[in-house]
Chain A
């Protein structure tokens, strides 16, 4: 069993926190992991991604082979499309529906939705709204993690515990906001399937 995940977003949207949470949960389950990150210039308001590979067998390449990814988990709709070459035919595309518009030629939202709907297995989530309702807009990344959790081979309990560990340093209130966001995302995924 393996899950190859492309995490996508814009610099500053917290995709490395998603990666860290999944990584912690996977360590708990004794899986083999490789997780690539992007550092440097592109981090500044530009496109960022991370490849996260989980498996019960050794993982070799740090990069997911083209056409073999199981999941694209994106915190931003335009960014979700950028990594389609990595997604296998039956792979899932799970993305936030709210755009992060910081370029003048940002496409029309309907155009993006149309492209996303071309992928047979897709899930569009209004993560910004759900996060706000759950108590913190900043936790939209954790909403997305919750929404994608059913497609990741680690258990939801271990993911939640990983979130608690990850944010423990920032105090109980931050932990709760992120856990609530995660649960709300999870619920949203349940509604969709």
Chain B
């Protein structure tokens, strides 16, 4: 065992992967997952050049590159936030059909309560959908251990393994004791050179193999060290605590002396054997899980309907939002401490643009340029500039998913809302906006795309964006007419000039792009130098 470390959950994942001998870490930044890659990037192994660790253009390219590394026999990890898995869903699901060569670990950080996200989707469903094992840590130490185990399972079963993190573990520090590192793998082609060719004739065989492995996955989950079943004499109630919820349960019973039967469930697929065992001994069940009622939903219909199953579906716990020790205690009908209310005077303090931010000047100019058309025509995207939705700007009308600003503007223009305008950041544009712009070019949509370019993936801490220094070239390359790719500098002194450029391009009945470029003030303040390439 190594020396005790004090790590964020994300960092524990990264340390686990480094110690598992990964040769590559692939990711696109997204809260609460960003620090996994940042830790790998800062680590000694990575700096010595043994671990590939550049940010990818988006989660899909990250997942595919990781699969390619697995194909070549080496271990790879791919990390993203929960909504990133939507972007990467295609390679993710298909990687479960190809199977892996080197171990492949997919780490997804969910954000229940939507601290910094547009939804609170539960990635365990993706694991079930893909029919692969899912590991859900309840602590930072377990996150480390699960990453180590995850690579082992991935290679044992020949499939990717999913690790599901949540904000409260990702962004909380605790002591982690590392274990002896594994050596890095050598380059080694797959034994079956057709393994990764998903022609229907081959894919059918692979899929049957995956299906026939399901009972093995489940049997292993039933005896996993991460799952734990404790019977309590005379108890009538059973409690199942999944992942982080186990921590909140322990907070209420620090000695572990439960007055009920307890199943800790952190290794999926759901082992029916363990569920049956607790179900049969209990007169009723309470299910504690962070995120959606994933397990509860299965139980309500599964073993029998003659015993009550309580949880998020029947109001024992809130249907949405994060759990906490208080909610768990309440659901178990424990006497809970009373607590004070927040005084009415405590008004919210929403996030704001940093003083001097270039996005401010973009919106000030855009609001003037759009005056003649009236409100309701500006589609925006995911990033700091989403704050343009708040007063005093009130400048945008949508924020849905990465890249949707461009394509929604195209669709709205198709419907007759002309002009329609998109506002997107540089990193979001190269993540998922470029293909939409190609659609716009091909149909000569009357849309104006404003790329508010701050040379950074700023909201997640200023990572180097994939399109640094290449934005105009990309737009021209996609077919936007050169004279309608305009570059402006969003500064207060340029306001009048910028309004004129915007008015001209918005008036144009075809595709136009305005690149509003000024470096993120935070990066300037931090003195981080930006090289005009993605190289480290």
Chain A interface residues toward B at CB < 8 A = 10-11, 23, 27, 32-47, 51, 57-63, 65-68, 78-79, 81-82, 84-89, 102-103, 105-107, 111-112, 115, 118
Contact = CB atoms under 8 A, between A and B. Distances in A.
Interface residues of B, number: 49
The 7 closest A-B pairs by CB, nearest first: A40-B116, A67-B339, A40-B31, A67-B337, A46-B351, A62-B172, A65-B325
A42 B250 contact: no
Given A34-B172, A45-B351, 11 more contacts: A32-B175, A42-B115, A45-B349, A60-B251, A63-B168, A63-B325, A67-B337, A81-B345, A81-B346, A107-B347, A115-B343
Given A34-B173, A62-B247, A67 B349 contact: no
Contact of A112 (B31, B325, B345): B345
Contact of B349 (A39, A62, A65, A79): A79
Contacts of A39: 31-32, 34-35, 116, 171, 460-461
**Residue in A10, A51, A60, A115 whose Cβ sees the most chain B Cβ within 10 Å:** A60
Contacts of A60: 139, 247-248, 250-251, 254
16 contacts: A23-B6, A39-B460, A40-B459, A41-B116, A42-B351, A44-B351, A44-B353, A62-B172, A65-B326, A67-B339, A78-B346, A78-B349, A84-B341, A85-B341, A89-B338, A105-B347
A34 B522 CA distance: 28
A24 B350 CA distance: 31
A41 B349 contact: no
A85 B172 contact: no
Contacts of A27: 6
A36 B171 contact: yes
Given A58-B254, A61-B248, A111-B345, A41 B351 contact: yes
Nearest to A55: B254
Contacts, number: 151
Contacts of B6: 23, 27, 33
B324 interface: yes
Contacts of A67: 326, 336-340
B354 interface: yes
A99 B174 CA distance: 32
B348 interface: yes
Contacts of B346: 78, 81-82, 107, 115
Contact of B324 (A11, A46, A66): A66
B342 A84 contact: yes
B534 interface: no
Contacts of B348: 47
Contacts of A44: 351-354, 384, 387
B406 interface: no
A34 B94 CA distance: 38
Nearest to A36: B172
Contact of B339 (A33, A85, A105, A106): A85
Given A23-B6, A65-B326, A78-B346, A46 B169 contact: no
Interface of B: 6, 8, 31-32, 34-35, 115-116, 139, 168-169, 171-175, 247-248, 250-251, 254, 324-326, 329, 336-343, 345-354, 384, 386-387, 459-461
A61 B325 contact: yes
A37 B461 CA distance: 14
Contacts of B354: 44-45
A81 B384 CA distance: 27
A118 B6 CA distance: 37
A66 B326 contact: yes
B322 to A, nearest CB: 8
A44 B31 CA distance: 14
Nearest to A64: B325
Given A38-B171, A105-B347, A46 B116 contact: no
Contacts of A62: 168-169, 172, 174, 247
A34 B248 CA distance: 13
A107 B345 contact: yes
A60 B387 CA distance: 35
Nearest to B170: A39
Contacts of B32: 39-40
A41 B345 contact: no
In this complex, which of B31, B116, B251 has the most chain A Cβ atoms within 10 angstroms of its Cβ?
B251
Q: Which interface residue of A44, A102, A118 has the most chain B CB atoms within 10 A?
A: A44
A35 B248 contact: no
A57 B254 contact: yes
Contacts of B139: 60
A67 to B, nearest CB: 3
A42 B251 contact: no
Contacts of B169: 62
A78 B31 CA distance: 26
